[in-house]
Amino acid sequence: MKIIIVGGGKSGFALASALSDEGHDVTIVDNSDEVVSYISNALDVICVQGSGTDSDVLKDAGVENADLLIATMRSDETNMICGIAARRLGTKHVIARVSATQYLKQNEFLRETLGLSVVVNPEYECAKEISRIIKFPSASHVSTFSKCQLEIAEYRIAAGSPLIGLQLKDLPRFGSKVLISVVERGNEAIIPRGGFSLRENDRLSVFGSATELRKFFNAVGAYTRKIRDVIIMGGSKIAVYLTGMLCELGMEVTIIEKDRAKCEILTDYIPKANVVFGDATHDDVLIEAGLRNCDAFVAVSGDNSDNIITSIYAKSKTDAKIVTQVTRDHFAEISESAGLDSIVNEKELMSEQIIRYVRAMGNSEGSSMETLYLLADGKAEAAEFYIDKDTPCTGIPLKDLKLRKDVLIISVIRDNKSLVPDGLSVLELGDCAIIISPRRTVKNIGDILT
């Protein structure tokens, strides 16, 4: 598929890397000589220098024959203009990054009026991810499926856990209906079978309903108290979106922001929050804001170093749930090595959303991808597929299908009910199947077969 990405910043670079790895023909357009030179040397993609709103530049990039254009520049309005131009010039599909809060409720209007296929808001997606983690603090990450009926929670086995040495076939002894779908051990992501034994420091992706997951975490001694008081470092767009979500859940939210003018705007915009003027990198500001007594601390200032250092300090002063925003992969690795396990990256979340759309565009085997999440630091994927009439796997018992050994069907959704499949289960028209696989190996449902 021919894909043009306009904007070679962090988001554009991350997308170009991911889509190029998926096997697509990627071209990046950016105004900066420096950016174009860097990307040309770092990635196997075509680079064109110039403005994404200049029709001649877009034509040089091949917009007239492109399957998809993705506008990822900082300005929402520039992204919209670029999208309109691309559609007029012949691009089949357009995705635009639009992150301003005033546009959040106008997604449908923007798509219909401007001809955009998808409007992505990475800051809003990041806030949703943090909200899920805060609602389920026993886990380091939480992914939702089947309209939030089912979840995958990532959890690291601590010293002394009753899970150490357990074979997965004995998991029912904990009295909950959950499934361990992926085990990250060192640099390896394992899709386990019943005889697999767990070890200390294994990072598990545990699948089930919210109720069953809570039963499981309670049974293994990993239950965390319900979160009521949250401190947010930084008055960013993520903080604004997140505060709205948490206040709707009845939580008390305090935002610490070092820009006085922004504090005044936040006070007017989200009156339910307690807005504190101060620098959250100073310990006295954090302590005065109630760090020692809070249930969760979220660092979303936009500065990687400040977020990481302040999160480490917060971890040393409280047993609250700590969530840290980073924007680069190597910062995520540094954070995890420092004991911070709930790391969010809006660039990765946007990439997942766009890759899901791109895969659905190229799907020709009777199924469509409804949901896609990366697990085990991106080494594995959990994808939800809708089963259409031409799916090659329908009507055949799973035991008779030639399934790949590195693929696991963890759930079948039928009539809004989740079924744990066994060898006699069959996929039917209208089902949704949730598939676990190594990254980039299952792009449509037919790829689960040998």
Q: Is residue 224 part of a domain?
A: no
Q: What is the pLDDT of residue 367?
A: 52
CATH number for the domain spanning 405: value is 3.30.70.1450
Confirm if 159 and 349 have CB atoms less than 8 A apart. Answer: no
Query: Is the domain of 21 the same as that of 107?
Result: yes
- Based on the domain organization, do 30 and 52 belong to the same domain? yes
340 in the same domain as 236:
yes
In which residue are the tokens 């988001």 written?
A: 11
> Alpha-carbon distance 24 to 70, whole Å?
13
Supply the CATH number for residue 89's domain.
3.40.50.720
**At which of 169, 193, 219 does a domain end?**
219
Q: Same domain, yes or no, for 209 and 307?
A: no
User: Are 88 and 17 within one domain?
Assistant: yes
Beta carbons of 158 and 198 less than 8 angstroms apart: no
Check whether residue 208 and residue 114 sit in a common domain.
no
In a domain, 434, yes or no: yes
236 and 313 co-located in one domain: yes
Whether 352 is covered by a domain: the verdict is no
H helices, E strands: number in the chain: 13, 22
| 3-class secondary structure, 96 | strand
Query: What is residue 216's three-state secondary structure?
Result: helix
Residue 41's φ and ψ, nearest 5 degrees, are -80, -30
Q: Are residues 79 and 140 in the same domain?
A: no
Residue 205 and residue 238 in one domain: no
The one-digit pLDDT tens for each residue of the chain (450 residues) are 999 999 999 889 989 998 998 889 999 999 999 999 999 999 999 999 999 999 999 999 999 999 999 999 989 999 999 999 999 999 999 999 998 888 877 777 878 888 888 899 999 999 999 999 998 888 888 988 877 688 999 999 999 999 999 999 999 999 999 999 999 998 899 999 989 999 999 999 999 998 899 899 999 988 667 899 999 999 999 999 999 999 999 999 999 999 999 999 999 989 999 999 999 999 999 999 999 999 999 999 989 999 999 999 999 999 999 999 998 777 777 787 778 889 999 888 888 889 888 887 766 444 577 888 888 888 899 998 888 877 888 889 999 999 999 999 999 999 888 888 988 999 998 999 999 999 888 888 888 998
Domain range enclosing 35: 2-120
pLDDT on residue 371: 82
**CA dihedral sign of residues 152, 153, 154, 157:** negative
- On whether residue 424 sits in a domain, the answer given is yes
E runs forming strands in 309-431: 321-325, 343-344, 367-375, 380-387, 408-414, 417-419
Of 286, 310, 344, which one is at a domain's C-terminal end? 344
Is there a single domain that holds both residue 106 and residue 28? yes
**Is 110 inside a domain boundary?**
yes
Q: Is 354 contained in some domain?
A: no
Separation CA 238–CA 299 (nearest Å)? 10
Q: Which of 95, 120, 145 is the last residue of a domain?
A: 120
